[in-house]
Amino acid sequence: MIEAVQTSSQFTQRVFSGIQPSGGLTLGNYLGAMKRFVDMQGQDYETIYCMVDLHAITVWQDPAKLRHATRELCAGFIAAGIDPEQSILFNQSAVPEHAQLAWIFNCVARMGWMQRMTQFKDKAGKNAQNASLGLFAYPALMAADILIYHATHVPVGEDQKQHLELTRDIATKFNHDYGVDFFPITEPVIEGAATRVMSLRDGSKKMSKSDPSDASRINMTDDADTIAKKIRKAKTDPDALPSEAKGLENRPEARNLVNIYAALADMSVEAVLKDAGGKQFSEFKPILSELAVAKLAPISTEMARLTQDAGEIDKILDRGAERAREVAAPILKKTYEIVGMVGA
């Protein structure tokens, strides 16, 4: 039996998260993911952030659009504040160890586990027989993304919780089957309700890049005027803002705008309402708009600038992939040894 390499408590505090380059970044991606990734950077963790292009192609992607979306996502990360020196920033396909470990995990995970994944059921829809095998195996690749770095903390949205539980199941079964304590049992860092950004047209629906109405979302590429206009036109109700969070119950649009303000200002909802309670939306919207423009317009400007320089982006991604491989390669090698592969 291979001796345990490390015990769980000895794992380096390491954050990993990924975003799919499937085109169109919204305020939801910024507040729900990128801003949180930035906040974890330079704390007590190593931070690794990935554009998961191999996940993106589990559903059809036009190759030219995929290339553009990957570079735009990289620009978005940097514009949002990810420092490619401090963090490791790269695209998944450039580090082949992800796909290699995913294969091992395909052999660890059970059909029954995968069949329970609600995201597969949602994405495959009625015609599951026609879904790609990759879409079915998606969570095993996600587990590999995380565990190829022995990541201990994974910030994700609520919708990814089940995939993280599966990641823990895979790590546990691998460790058990091979009699090792090799893969860490990863901690999910789930976003709070406050960072769940809803549609500006319907406070009960998540803000989405695929909503047919562009007015329903703020895109990370929107300029200052567009941001201001969308907030001015956002759906509200006729009442004044309450002075306590409880007063937002059953007022999804009001709650959404207050949540957005709180997240952008790094304040609690209570603190926002202490100031804003009693204000009408005609008064609150301009305040929100001013804050949103101040925080977001510089990001979209920087994104546009970076996106134009594909050469610069590609250099950053190459360097990121190189650094990622330095962490991933020894972990894959050890995994192969544990499993009984000869050579390399």
Report if residue 58 touches ligand TRP, rule: CB under 6 A: no
Quote the CA–CA distance of 6 and 11 in Å, as a whole number. 7
157 among annotated binding-site residues = yes
- Measured in residues, the chain has a length of 344
Shortest distance (Å) from residue 144 CB to ligand TRP: 9
Q: In the set 58, 160, 219, 236, which binds ligand TRP (CB under 6 A)?
A: 160
Comparison of 117 and 248: residue with beta carbon closer to ligand TRP: 117
216 among annotated binding-site residues = no
Helix (H, G, I), strand (E, B) or coil at 77: helix
Alpha-carbon distances, residue 236 vs 69, 141, 271, 287 (angstroms): 33, 41, 20, 15
Q: In the set 27, 82, 88, 146, which binds ligand TRP (CB under 6 A)?
A: 146
**Partners of 154 in the β-ladder:** 188
3-state helix, strand, coil in the chain (%, to 5): 60, 10, 35
Report if residue 150 touches ligand TRP, rule: CB under 6 A: no
Binding mask 186-215 for ligand TRP (x = CB under 6 A): ------------------------------
Comparison of 117 and 288: residue with beta carbon closer to ligand TRP: 117
Concatenating the DSSP letter of every residue in 216-271 gives: G--BTT--HHHHHHHHHH----SSPPPSSGGGGTT-HHHHHHHHHHHHHHT--HHH
Q: In the set 15, 38, 56, 142, which binds ligand TRP (CB under 6 A)?
A: 142
Q: Choose the stretch contacting ligand TRP; rule: CB under 6 A; options: 58-66, 154-162, 191-199, 279-287.
A: 154-162
Catalytic residue (choose from 123, 235, 279, 334): 123
Binding mask 11-50 for ligand TRP (x = CB under 6 A): -----xxx-x------------------------------
Quote the distance between the C-alpha of residue 143 and its chain's center. Answer: 14
Q: Where on the phi/psi map is residue 154: left (φ > 0), alpha (ψ -120 to 50), or beta?
A: beta
295 among annotated binding-site residues = no
**Partners of 15 in the β-ladder:** 47, 153
Q: Choose the stretch contacting ligand TRP; rule: CB under 6 A; options: 6-14, 102-110, 138-146, 241-249.
A: 138-146
6 among annotated binding-site residues = no
229 among annotated binding-site residues = no
Helix (H, G, I), strand (E, B) or coil at 32: helix
The sign of the CA dihedral 282, 288, 294, 300 is: negative
62 among annotated binding-site residues = no
Report if residue 97 touches ligand TRP, rule: CB under 6 A: no
65 given a catalytic annotation: no
The answer to whether residues 98 and 146 touch, using CB atoms and an 8 Å cutoff, is no
184 among annotated binding-site residues = no
Quote the CA–CA distance of 174 and 334 in Å, as a whole number. 13
Shortest distance (Å) from residue 132 CB to ligand TRP: 15
Tracing tokens 């565990």 back to the chain, one arrives at: 147
206 given a catalytic annotation: yes
Binding mask 305-334 for ligand TRP (x = CB under 6 A): ------------------------------
Report the interface residues with ligand TRP, using CB under 6 A.
16-18, 20, 52, 55, 142, 145-146, 154, 156, 160, 163
Give the residue numbers marked as catalytic: 123, 206, 209
Binding residues: 20-22, 28-29, 145, 157-159, 197, 206-210
